[in-house]
Copies of this chain bind each other. A is one copy, B any other.
Amino acid sequence: MKAGGIELGEGGKSSTSRSGVNKGVSVLDFIFRILAFIGTLGSAIAMVTTNETLPFFTRFFQFRAEYDDLPTFTFFVVANAIVSGYLLLSLPFSIFHIVRSSAQRTRMILIFFDMVMLALLTAGASAAAAIVYLAHKGNARVNWLAICQQFNSFCQRTSGSLIGSFAGIILLALLIMLLGVALARRP
């Protein structure tokens, strides 16, 4: 009963201002979701369209690099595609939160899936970053040569496509925090 009394006091004090803050938070949530969607979709497209054919070739084969020569890049594309698809599907929920700023259950569902997507995107992006690093620097100890001297544009393209993905990671982390703020401030 005591806890109930405290809630009653808080609810009466500033219910309208809290709902206003939640609306602002929800609008920010919507904007971040669109930005993260653009970032991850851009990353996926940039990676998928990456290929480079070198201008010289031997009798037996042409020197050609495509993103799916390295399985990790395929995983990167799949992870980015899944996350961008999820972000698109979550936009209606975000709009619903702007309209009904006191909704809690949908926010909890969203925070859960956001977290799953954050983990997936982090996994994809960091695995791809490890391979991109190797492509740039190579590794003398295990005799893996840096391929970026030959496939220069391929390397630049794959490195660049990481940016959208890492921006997506930061935005998803911010989204989770925004949802947490909105949940903590329940009117």
Contact = CB atoms under 8 A, between A and B. Distances in A.
A173 to B, nearest CB: 7
Contacts of A1: 8, 11-12, 15
What's the interface size class on A, roughly? Answer: 35 or more
Contacts of A130: 72, 127-128, 130-131
25 contacts: A1-B11, A1-B15, A2-B11, A4-B8, A4-B10, A4-B12, A7-B7, A65-B142, A69-B139, A69-B141, A69-B142, A70-B139, A70-B142, A71-B133, A108-B180, A111-B180, A112-B177, A115-B118, A118-B119, A122-B122, A126-B126, A126-B127, A127-B127, A127-B129, A127-B130
Given A3-B187, A5-B8, A144-B145, 12 more contacts: A3-B15, A3-B102, A4-B7, A4-B8, A7-B7, A65-B142, A72-B134, A119-B119, A122-B126, A123-B123, A127-B127, A127-B130
Nearest to A68: B141
A169 to B, nearest CB: 7
